[in-house]
Copies of this chain bind each other. A is one copy, B any other.
Amino acid sequence: MLAAVESFARRGYHATTTRDIATAAGMSPAALYIHYPSKSALLSEISRTGHQATLDLVERAAAEGSGPVEQMRQLVEDFTRWHARGHTVGRIVNHELHALPEEEFEVVAALRRQIEETVRRIIEAGVAEGSFQVPDVRTAARAVTSLGIDVSRWYTERSSETPEELGRRYGVLVLRMLGAAI
Protein backbone atom coordinates (compact mmCIF):
# COMPACT_ATOMS: atom_id res chain seq x y z
CA MET A 1 0.00 0.00 0.00
CA LEU A 2 2.83 2.42 0.81
CA ALA A 3 4.45 1.64 -2.54
CA ALA A 4 1.14 2.37 -4.26
CA VAL A 5 0.77 5.70 -2.41
CA GLU A 6 4.27 6.72 -3.48
CA SER A 7 3.73 5.68 -7.07
CA PHE A 8 0.33 7.39 -7.37
CA ALA A 9 1.75 10.57 -5.78
CA ARG A 10 4.74 10.66 -8.13
CA ARG A 11 3.11 9.76 -11.44
CA GLY A 12 -0.61 10.26 -10.92
CA TYR A 13 -3.01 7.36 -10.59
CA HIS A 14 -3.81 6.92 -14.28
CA ALA A 15 -0.20 6.79 -15.44
CA THR A 16 0.85 4.28 -12.75
CA THR A 17 1.01 0.60 -13.69
CA THR A 18 0.83 -2.37 -11.30
CA ARG A 19 4.39 -3.12 -12.47
CA ASP A 20 5.51 0.31 -11.14
CA ILE A 21 3.91 -0.49 -7.80
CA ALA A 22 5.40 -3.97 -7.63
CA THR A 23 8.86 -2.54 -8.39
CA ALA A 24 8.46 0.16 -5.72
CA ALA A 25 7.43 -2.57 -3.24
CA GLY A 26 10.37 -4.79 -4.20
CA MET A 27 8.00 -7.50 -5.41
CA SER A 28 7.32 -9.29 -8.67
CA PRO A 29 4.03 -8.30 -10.37
CA ALA A 30 2.84 -11.89 -9.69
CA ALA A 31 3.54 -11.56 -5.97
CA LEU A 32 1.69 -8.25 -5.81
CA TYR A 33 -1.23 -9.81 -7.67
CA ILE A 34 -1.76 -12.31 -4.83
CA HIS A 35 -2.59 -9.43 -2.50
CA TYR A 36 -4.21 -6.95 -4.91
CA PRO A 37 -5.64 -8.11 -8.24
CA SER A 38 -5.50 -4.58 -9.75
CA LYS A 39 -4.33 -1.06 -9.06
CA SER A 40 -7.94 0.00 -8.50
CA ALA A 41 -8.11 -2.58 -5.66
CA LEU A 42 -5.14 -0.78 -4.11
CA LEU A 43 -6.71 2.64 -4.58
CA SER A 44 -9.95 1.34 -3.06
CA GLU A 45 -8.18 -0.02 0.02
CA ILE A 46 -6.20 3.21 0.53
CA SER A 47 -9.32 5.29 0.04
CA ARG A 48 -11.59 3.22 2.28
CA THR A 49 -9.16 3.01 5.22
CA GLY A 50 -8.28 6.72 4.86
CA HIS A 51 -11.90 7.81 4.90
CA GLN A 52 -12.81 5.49 7.76
CA ALA A 53 -9.97 6.85 9.89
CA THR A 54 -11.08 10.42 9.10
CA LEU A 55 -14.67 9.67 10.06
CA ASP A 56 -13.49 8.12 13.36
CA LEU A 57 -11.46 11.23 14.14
CA VAL A 58 -14.38 13.53 13.35
CA GLU A 59 -16.86 11.50 15.41
CA ARG A 60 -14.46 11.39 18.34
CA ALA A 61 -14.16 15.19 18.34
CA ALA A 62 -17.95 15.53 18.09
CA ALA A 63 -18.46 13.17 21.04
CA GLU A 64 -15.86 14.60 23.39
CA GLY A 65 -16.23 18.37 23.53
CA SER A 66 -18.65 20.05 25.92
CA GLY A 67 -21.03 21.80 23.56
CA PRO A 68 -20.87 22.78 19.87
CA VAL A 69 -18.14 25.43 20.19
CA GLU A 70 -15.61 23.11 21.83
CA GLN A 71 -16.65 20.18 19.62
CA MET A 72 -16.07 22.27 16.51
CA ARG A 73 -12.76 23.62 17.73
CA GLN A 74 -11.53 20.09 18.45
CA LEU A 75 -12.86 18.76 15.15
CA VAL A 76 -11.18 21.47 13.07
CA GLU A 77 -7.88 21.18 14.95
CA ASP A 78 -7.81 17.39 14.46
CA PHE A 79 -9.11 17.42 10.88
CA THR A 80 -6.58 20.10 9.82
CA ARG A 81 -3.60 18.44 11.55
CA TRP A 82 -4.59 15.12 9.98
CA HIS A 83 -4.66 16.56 6.45
CA ALA A 84 -1.38 18.42 6.96
CA ARG A 85 0.45 15.35 8.26
CA GLY A 86 -1.14 12.97 5.78
CA HIS A 87 -1.05 15.32 2.82
CA THR A 88 0.31 12.74 0.35
CA VAL A 89 -2.43 10.21 1.04
CA GLY A 90 -4.99 13.00 1.39
CA ARG A 91 -4.20 14.31 -2.07
CA ILE A 92 -4.62 10.89 -3.69
CA VAL A 93 -7.75 10.02 -1.76
CA ASN A 94 -9.44 13.35 -2.48
CA HIS A 95 -8.41 13.83 -6.08
CA GLU A 96 -8.74 10.30 -7.45
CA LEU A 97 -12.27 9.66 -6.16
CA HIS A 98 -13.63 9.20 -9.66
CA ALA A 99 -11.06 6.54 -10.48
CA LEU A 100 -12.72 4.24 -7.91
CA PRO A 101 -14.83 1.37 -9.21
CA GLU A 102 -18.57 2.17 -8.87
CA GLU A 103 -19.19 0.02 -5.77
CA GLU A 104 -16.15 1.30 -3.93
CA PHE A 105 -17.06 4.85 -4.85
CA GLU A 106 -20.43 4.34 -3.15
CA VAL A 107 -18.78 3.08 0.04
CA VAL A 108 -16.42 6.04 0.17
CA ALA A 109 -19.15 8.54 -0.78
CA ALA A 110 -21.20 7.25 2.17
CA LEU A 111 -18.25 7.81 4.53
CA ARG A 112 -17.82 11.34 3.14
CA ARG A 113 -21.50 12.08 3.70
CA GLN A 114 -21.20 10.90 7.31
CA ILE A 115 -18.24 13.20 7.87
CA GLU A 116 -20.14 16.16 6.47
CA GLU A 117 -23.28 15.27 8.44
CA THR A 118 -21.31 15.20 11.68
CA VAL A 119 -20.00 18.69 10.92
CA ARG A 120 -23.50 19.83 9.99
CA ARG A 121 -25.04 18.49 13.21
CA ILE A 122 -22.55 20.43 15.32
CA ILE A 123 -23.31 23.62 13.39
CA GLU A 124 -27.06 23.04 13.79
CA ALA A 125 -26.67 22.50 17.52
CA GLY A 126 -24.62 25.70 17.75
CA VAL A 127 -27.22 27.67 15.80
CA ALA A 128 -29.98 26.24 18.02
CA GLU A 129 -28.26 27.29 21.25
CA GLY A 130 -27.36 30.69 19.78
CA SER A 131 -23.57 30.31 19.73
CA PHE A 132 -23.29 30.05 15.93
CA GLN A 133 -24.87 32.17 13.22
CA VAL A 134 -24.44 31.25 9.54
CA PRO A 135 -26.04 32.24 6.23
CA ASP A 136 -26.77 28.57 5.38
CA VAL A 137 -25.91 25.49 7.45
CA ARG A 138 -25.12 23.25 4.49
CA THR A 139 -22.80 25.81 2.88
CA ALA A 140 -21.08 26.43 6.20
CA ALA A 141 -20.51 22.68 6.73
CA ARG A 142 -19.13 22.42 3.21
CA ALA A 143 -16.76 25.34 3.87
CA VAL A 144 -15.48 23.74 7.10
CA THR A 145 -14.68 20.39 5.48
CA SER A 146 -13.35 22.06 2.30
CA LEU A 147 -10.83 24.14 4.26
CA GLY A 148 -9.48 21.02 5.96
CA ILE A 149 -9.41 18.84 2.84
CA ASP A 150 -7.63 21.50 0.80
CA VAL A 151 -4.79 21.52 3.34
CA SER A 152 -3.65 18.26 1.76
CA ARG A 153 -3.30 20.05 -1.60
CA TRP A 154 -1.07 22.91 -0.46
CA TYR A 155 0.67 21.74 2.74
CA THR A 156 4.24 20.47 2.44
CA GLU A 157 7.00 19.72 4.92
CA ARG A 158 8.48 23.07 3.86
CA SER A 159 5.39 24.98 5.05
CA SER A 160 6.20 27.52 7.73
CA GLU A 161 3.63 26.22 10.23
CA THR A 162 3.61 22.87 12.00
CA PRO A 163 0.43 20.80 11.56
CA GLU A 164 -0.41 21.64 15.20
CA GLU A 165 -0.05 25.41 14.75
CA LEU A 166 -2.08 25.31 11.58
CA GLY A 167 -4.77 23.29 13.36
CA ARG A 168 -5.04 25.78 16.20
CA ARG A 169 -5.21 28.78 13.85
CA TYR A 170 -7.79 27.11 11.65
CA GLY A 171 -9.79 26.29 14.78
CA VAL A 172 -10.00 30.01 15.60
CA LEU A 173 -10.75 31.02 11.98
CA VAL A 174 -13.55 28.47 11.65
CA LEU A 175 -15.20 29.37 14.97
CA ARG A 176 -15.21 33.03 13.88
CA MET A 177 -16.54 32.04 10.45
CA LEU A 178 -19.46 30.32 12.18
CA GLY A 179 -20.20 33.51 14.08
CA ALA A 180 -18.98 32.29 17.49
CA ALA A 181 -18.09 35.15 19.83
CA ILE A 182 -14.44 34.23 20.51
Contact of A125 with B by CB under 8 A: no
Distance between A148 CB and nearest chain B CB, rounded to angstroms:
10
Query: Per DSSP, are chain A's interface residues mostly helix, strand or loop, or mixed?
Result: helix
Chain B residue with Cβ nearest A15:
B14
Contacts of A176 in B (CB 8 A): 176-179
Contact of A12 with B by CB under 8 A: yes
Q: Could you tell me if B15 and A139 are in contact, using CB atoms closer than 8 angstroms?
A: no
Interface size on A, residues (CB 8 A): 35
Contacts of A174 in B (CB 8 A): 177
Q: Could you tell me if B146 and A160 are in contact, using CB atoms closer than 8 angstroms?
A: no
1/0 per position for A113-147, CB-CB distance to B under 8 A? 00000000000000000000011101110110011
Stretch at the interface among A55-63, A66-74, A102-110, A149-157: A149-157
Distance between A19 CB and nearest chain B CB, rounded to angstroms:
15
Contacts of A135 in B (CB 8 A): 168-169, 172-173
Chain B residue with Cβ nearest A95:
B95
CB-defined A-B contacts under 8 Å, sample of 28: A11-B14, A12-B12, A12-B13, A14-B14, A15-B15, A95-B95, A134-B173, A135-B169, A135-B172, A135-B173, A136-B169, A139-B161, A139-B169, A139-B170, A139-B173, A142-B154, A146-B147, A146-B151, A146-B153, A149-B153, A150-B150, A150-B153, A173-B177, A174-B177, A176-B176, A176-B177, A176-B178, A177-B177
A: which residues have CB within 8 A of B?
11-15, 94-95, 134-136, 138-140, 142-143, 146-147, 149-151, 153-154, 160-161, 166, 168-170, 172-174, 176-179
